[in-house]
């Protein structure tokens, strides 16, 4: 859905793309902040964020291979 926001605007007026680049940057900032928190393989971090950020930040974490991403429900029951 978010990638379609890039289509909003007119010729040389990239309103949607400007917003989308801000949103993408915001996700990268969250990823970088999470990555800084990881010191050892034993560290556990509960990351609570809005649904629109979950999939992309998870993708960043998985692709970086700096940690294992585990769904929180097994810990919260």
- Give the position of tokens 């930040």: 57
Range of the domain at 65: 2-76
pLDDT tens, residue by residue, 19-58:
999 999 999 999 999 999 999 989 999 999 999 999 999 9
Three-class SS state of 21: helix
Domain count, the chain: 1
Mean pLDDT of the chain: 91
Three-class SS state of 10: strand
Which is more confidently placed, 74 or 20?
Answer: 20
> pTM of whole model > 0.85?
no
Residue 6 has phi, psi (to 5 degrees) of: -60, -20
**Predicted pLDDT at 73:** 87
Q: How many angstroms separate the first and last alpha carbons of the chain?
A: 31
């Amino acid at each position: 859905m978010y990638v379609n926001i890039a289509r909003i605007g007119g010729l040389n007026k990239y309103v949607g793309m400007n917003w989308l680049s801000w949103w993408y940057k915001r996700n990268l900032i969250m990823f970088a902040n999470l990555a800084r928190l990881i010191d050892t393989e034993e560290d556990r971090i509960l990351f609570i964020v809005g649904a629109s950020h979950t999939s992309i930040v998870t993708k960043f974490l998985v692709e970086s291979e700096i940690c294992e991403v585990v769904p929180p429900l097994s810990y919260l029951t």
